[in-house]
Amino acid sequence: MYGLAMARGLLVTLKNMTKKPFTIQYPEERVKQHPRFRGEEFVWYEERCTGCASCAKYCPLGIIKIVTSPSESAPRQGDKYKLEVFDIELQRCMFCGLCVEACPYDCLFMGSGFEQGRYSRDDMVIHVEDLRNSAKNPSTFYRPQLEQSGYDPRGGRPLTWREVGRENWDWHKREKAGLRLIGTDVNIPSEESE
């Protein structure tokens, strides 16, 4: 009986020896990622962010910290706040994407990178400067406008804040008249000065 079980085991081995392997030799080889893949990073467009903190409120783990101050360039009601702190404790994130779903202005996206290994837990916290400097290749997760355009975050070019929203720029200009677009050469005049 013992020999029979061994023979059966060897038969399974022989059968699978002839099959094409499913595995690849990472990191030399990589499988193609789906554009909706939720990676270990976030893509944020400061120009679109109002500081509403909806992303922080909807995070079920409470790992997003946002501190804002009134923007001196856009003091009118309905305009954006200035982001002082925007921290995400990546080491506790479960990549559910609820923060992205909650963002009403299409400024927070899941990223598609996943090689973010760190030696220290403190290094796993993403700060506002990291978000500012992150590569602008957003995942198409919960962003049908990107998916419909066929955008591939792993192969496509970086997208600007003007290209990632569901609404057209005219809407943004009308609703956010007076805001100063940080890090760009665009300065939208207020309605009074138009």
Out of 88, 146, 159, 164, name the contact with ligand SF4 by CB under 6 A: 88
Q: Which residues contact 106 (CB under 8 A, 6 or more apart)?
A: 45, 48, 143, 145, 164, 165, 166, 167
* CB of 65 or CB of 154, closer to ligand SF4: 65
Q: Which among 87-95, 137-145, 151-159, 184-192 is the span making contact with ligand SF4, rule CB under 6 A?
A: 87-95
Min separation Cβ 81 and ligand SF4, Å: 8
Q: Does 59 bind ligand SF4 (CB under 6 A)?
A: yes
Q: CB within 8 A of 76, min separation 6: which ones? A: 178, 190
From 56-64, 70-78, 162-170, 177-185, give the range in contact with ligand SF4 by CB under 6 A.
56-64
Residue type (1 letter), 14: L
Structure-token match 């559910």, residue found: 96
Instruction: Please choose, from the candidates 183, 191, 144, the residue with its C-alpha nearest in 3D space to the C-alpha of residue 160.
Output: 183
Tokens of 95: 């990549």
Q: Among 74, 107, 128, 159, which residue sits at the site for ligand SF4 (rule: CB under 6 A)?
A: 107
93 binds ligand SF4 (CB under 6 A): yes
Q: How far is the CB of 177 from ligand SF4 (least distance, A)?
A: 17
* Residue 64 is a binding residue for ligand SF4 (CB under 6 A): yes
Of residues 10 and 85, the one with the C-beta less far from ligand SF4: 85
Question: Which is nearer to ligand SF4, 62 or 75 (by Cβ)?
Answer: 62
The conformation of residue 143, written as its DSSP 8-state character, comes to -
Shortest Cβ distance from residue 103 to ligand SF4 (Å)? 3
Q: How far is the CB of 95 from ligand SF4 (least distance, A)?
A: 5
Residues found near ligand SF4 in the complex (CB under 6 A): 49-55, 59, 61, 63-64, 66, 88, 93-99, 102-103, 105, 107-108
